Amino acid sequence: MDWFWPEGFYALLMVGSFAFGAFALKLPIAIALGAAAAVGALAGGEGFPLRHFVEGTFGYLDTILIIATAMVFMKTVQKTGLLESLAAWVIRKFRRTPLMLTMGLMLIIMIPGMITGSSTAAVLTTGALVAPVFIRLGVPVLKTAAAIALGAIYGMIAPPVNVPVMIIGGGIDMPYVGFAWPLLVCTVPLAIFAGLILIYPSLRKGARNEEELEAQLQKMEEATLSFRLLLPIFVLVILMAGEQFFPGTWPPLGLPVNFLLAALSALFTGRPLNFLAASREAVNDAIPVLGILMGVGMFIQIMTLIGVQGFIVVSVLALPAWLMYLGMATSIPLFGAVSAFGAASVLGVPFLLALLGRNEIMVASALSLLAGLGDLMPPTALAGIFAAQVVGEENYFKVLKYCLIPAIVTAVWAVVVILNSNLIMSYLP
């Protein structure tokens, strides 16, 4: 990239302003992104273009609604006790078959991320739930935290909700349709690999203390797993499957309405639930993520206004092939330390445009996987930091050490998927 062009200078100025605000001034990520956008607008001679700031703020309104309503759904499910009882059922069912138990627990960690599109939500819900169980099953504390962090990231990328893909698709007007199988190809092999190297060896040895494990399971089984308790899950699956398989006859409600209807069905599970209080708590938990999306929208809007977005696209298109793949495998995760959503927009869109000869859906899915790795990158490292807190470890770098090999494998797998995107898509339904 020729950074001596004015647009190159503006790009460095905006990224530098953001880094200064986020890391030196300790501003919230959303505020730092907005401030960097204002600096870029001033440097580009646009003054303070209020219209563009407003448009950018609401640029990802659809995604914001999906995340907010998904968080409401997850909070209501959590309040009814479904997550605890489901985890206890999996442990009792597969306790004597370590391989199946490993896969079942990894899936449970991933579920909140799959539904909300947020790795933080997964770490702080099912991650916090299964952490003491892992430890009582004999999994070391640091490996437990690493498995939770990785499972949360893979859940964030897995279908049905993948925010980085939505952002990348929004940059080139590509609808969020047909991503279920490609995203499963990107995440399922990695989740299995992470489980096998971090969890499975310890589960084969058996629990450290059977009495403590049994007490923990009984506490988790306060809500008996039944059809009524599973009602919100069934409602959500039916609503989403109807739109997928009967597009002409099924009413196109959209994901936000689907999540709200499924959340409301939790009132009929037979468990006490204050729906309004749960909704307020869910939205309050989602505000940091929603704020980042608004900040990213402003940031990208101003980058486009002053020509930085186009400069990055042209520069990426000019890269030789080998450097392009190396660059995407390193730059997208590193920029994801700022924000996985920001990495998807700033770098994901240009790389997708540079790879238009390959299947766009599969390429966008793999690029979102690289963006998700940003939640392991210091200094922010949201998934790593929260996973360390869940297990009571103060130094999250000890956790990241166990995430290193799976992270490298993840980046390599993303590049392999991109290189073989057309072939892989030919085998998918």
3-class secondary structure per residue, 294-327: HHHHHHHHHHHHCCHHHHHHHHHHCCCHHHHHHH
Q: What is the pLDDT along the chain (429 residues), one digit of tens a residue?
A: 444 568 888 988 998 898 898 888 888 888 998 999 999 999 999 999 999 999 999 988 888 998 899 999 999 999 999 989 999 999 899 988 999 999 999 999 999 999 988 898 899 889 999 999 898 888 999 999 999 999 999 999 999 999 999 989 888 888 888 899 999 999 999 999 999 999 999 988 766 667 778 888 888 888 788 889 999 999 999 998 888 778 778 888 888 999 999 999 999 998 899 999 999 999 998 898 888 889 888 998 998 899 887 787 777 777 787 788 998 999 899 888 777 887 888 889 889 988 888 999 999 999 999 999 999 988 778 899 889 999 999 888 999 999 999 999 999 999 999 999 999 999 998
3-state secondary structure of 427: helix
- pLDDT score of 3: 47
Q: Of 115, 112, 104, whose CA–CA distance to 128 is shortest? A: 112
Token pair in block for residue 429:
């339904």
CB 114 within 8 A of CB 159: yes
- pLDDT score of 4: 52
Token pair in block for residue 322:
């080998």
Q: What ranges in 336-359 are assigned the alpha helix state H?
A: 340-343, 349-354
Q: Of 356, 94, 324, 92, whose CA–CA distance to 224 is shortest? A: 92
Helix (H) or strand (E) holding 284: helix 275-305
Helix (H) or strand (E) holding 367: helix 360-372
How far apart CA 336 and CA 63 sit, in angstroms, is 18
Helix (H) or strand (E) holding 76: helix 61-80
How far apart CA 130 and CA 59 sit, in angstroms, is 36
- pLDDT score of 422: 95
How far apart CA 385 and CA 223 sit, in angstroms, is 30
